[in-house]
Chains A and B, each alone.
Chain A
Amino acid sequence: MKKFALVALSALATVAVGTAQAQEVRVLNWSDYIDEDLLEKFTDETGIKITYDVFDSNEVLEAKLLAGNSGYDVVVPSASFLARQIQAGVFQQLDQSALPNSVHLWDEIKAATASSDPGNAYSINYMWGTTGIGVNVGMVAERLGDDYGSSWDLIFDVDKISKLSDCGVHILDAPTEVIPAAMNYLGLDPTSQDPADIEKGGELLESIRPYVTKFHSSEYIDALANGEICLALGWSGDVFIALYEADDADNGVTIEYIVPDEGALMWFDQMAIPTDAGNVEEAHVFLNFIMDPENIAAATNYVYYANGNVTSQPLLDSEVIDDPAIYPPAETQESLYVLQPYPPRVQRVVTRTWTRVVTGS
């Protein structure tokens, strides 16, 4: 009897190990970036167990990837970071034959991401969006008047932001996005990698620093939604999440997302498979699942970010596909800019400038 139990146990253990090895995928994605029901659906459809973790900054993800053995099979860096990570040998080329759903990808977005990932050999686009301004309509109108406009003035004009500091201002803790935004406002080329330009952007940010409550990349969603802050320099979809959170809570807070007139950063979050991934096959199954128009449409309807899947567009809610702040019309798109990766020495200048902005020293 005892012997039987032992055999049964070891058989069970073998099965458990067998499935754990063959049937698992570990995904590291941005926070608040997917409809969690999709993860369940994925496991139901494919039988692959999914471990899903989140992060909120490209820098932190990059630190994990460069350290090696991150333990993840799918990660989602922004294209400008992806570019230099490919060069560092962090990612493996995708097996296109395992990705039949890639026919649904949007050529326009593919063309844009090809500048970071030539031929889109290493990554697929998950979502894309802009870095703009989230506004608590009531609180800002109360302080600046009803026509507070749709310009970067709200953030970068000391006159305006100083009137908003009492109701709370958050700015993304994302140096490589916020400094270019300041450079753009100053009329400089936001994609410039000249340290002098970067420092000018930093000086502008330093001048508004006294009025900033916090530099953080995920807290502003809840803070905007519950009226803790009235202004945020943030990512498009996150502001929309706050907008609908506030709607649901019915707490009297109305949120608006602004793509500023002067132009804004357009970014692309790319799904890629690390070189040292343990479950490469399952990772491809996951990417293919994500590129299924029905699935990516569900994700976009949930997180309010535009995706790079053209076939999914008829499946999107009208409040998403028809919102010019989510799917910007051609004329807005012209004012948007795309960043290139910084070489290490320039990266140090960006980081140092950012520390000066954030801490005042």
Chain B
Amino acid sequence: MMIRAVKGLTRRLPIIIPFFWLFVFFLTPFFIVLQISFAEFEYGQPPYVPNFRKVEGLSDFFTQLQMMTLYSYEILLSDNLYWKAFLSSLRIAAVATFFALLIGYPLAYGMARAPRSIQPILLMAIILPFWTSYLIRIYAWKAILQKNGFLNNVLIKLSVITEPLTLLSTPFAVYLGIIYTYLPFMVLPVYSSLEKIDPSYTEAARDLGASGFTTFWRVIVPLSLPGVIAGCFLVFIPAMGEWVIPDLLGGSGTLMIGKQLATELFNNNDWPVAAAVAVCMIVVLIVPIVVFQRVQERDQLRRQQEG
């Protein structure tokens, strides 16, 4: 009996662990944030009226329920700033993802086609920058891009330009920072799916008379699609909520929802509104995450059927 119970548990462990993880590190914080978003703002410590004390009896539950307010969501809806910030984040994340793919795909392709013996070195070269804190790398970009910075000095020395260019504090710098930071998240999954493609597929395609481009477009690309989708989400989702990069590299005009959330927290000290922004962001981001999950599931199913 005992042994069977233990066996059952060990079999379920692979499922229990991720759910436990999800519960502790996602659902619990999410509900805390959700609860704050319904609280009333108050200038104090903490800066809101706590609305979820220990519930004592049914009537107390209803009194606590009545303390909840939708005021924070009303603020979000009454001012189109949040909507605009959201769209702007969406645009920045989409453009950054596009360029990360444009740069990342050929990189991954080159890596996958390189001799087996040097692939680990190439892989290492992609991972190596992670050994330095990304904040330090963003600050390094500041030093490179500023007016008296490295890039301008080199361009002037080479007589490409005569006057230093304004690169820092521009949308360009924000895109550069985001693409640079998240590029490995594109390269790695794409590489891993390209590397798995059996070379005999390419050979077969060529034997059947497909041109190099056709082989690439009709055979390689479809087979690498799961990696591409994974890479796109890994870049898009964090880029969407990005705050540090636009804050450090961007100018004043860069509107992003992550920045807006920080403004609510730091300038207004309005935790309920900040929490409401966070809740909306999560709800909107969950849609692509679910789509991603679905695509992966279908892919796995198909592979099982093929296998």
Contacts and interface: CB of A to CB of B under 8 A. Distances in A.
- Give the secondary structure class of B's interface: loop
A351 interface: yes
B44 A226 contact: no
Nearest to B273: A348
Contacts of A344: 41, 43, 268-270
B172 to A, nearest CB: 14
A62 B43 CA distance: 11
Interface string A207-239: 001001111000000000011100000000000
A49 interface: no
Interface stretch (A64-72, A99-107, A189-197, A294-302): A64-72
Contacts of A260: none
B148 A226 contact: yes
A355 interface: yes
Contact of B44 (A89, A228, A354): A89
B285 interface: no
B267 A88 contact: no
B185 to A, nearest CB: 28
A175 B43 contact: no
Size class of the B contact interface (CB-based, 8 Å): 20 to 34
Interface string B252-281: 111100001001011111100000000000
Nearest to B255: A359
Interface in A91-143: none
B81 interface: yes
A360 B267 contact: no
B251 interface: yes
B81 A361 contact: yes
Contact of A63 (B147, B251, B265): B265
B121 to A, nearest CB: 38
Nearest to A341: B43
B46 interface: yes
A66 B46 contact: yes
A340 interface: no
Nearest to B265: A63
B252 A66 contact: no
A67 B269 CA distance: 9
B148 A227 contact: yes
B268 A351 contact: yes
Given A66-B45, A68-B45, A355-B81, A59 B266 contact: yes
Interface in A126-165: none
A200 interface: no
Interface in B33-47: 41, 43-47
Interface string A330-361: 00000000000001100110011011101111
Given A84-B43, A214-B169, 11 more contacts: A59-B267, A63-B269, A66-B43, A66-B47, A67-B46, A88-B43, A168-B147, A227-B147, A228-B147, A358-B252, A361-B85
Interface of B: 41, 43-47, 79-81, 84-85, 146-148, 166, 169, 251-255, 260, 263, 265-270
**7 A-B pairs with the lowest CB-CB distances in the bound complex, closest first:** A351-B267, A359-B255, A66-B47, A358-B252, A215-B252, A63-B266, A59-B266
22 contacts: A59-B267, A66-B44, A66-B45, A67-B45, A67-B46, A68-B45, A88-B43, A88-B44, A89-B44, A168-B147, A175-B267, A213-B169, A214-B252, A343-B43, A344-B43, A344-B268, A344-B269, A351-B263, A352-B79, A354-B267, A359-B253, A361-B84
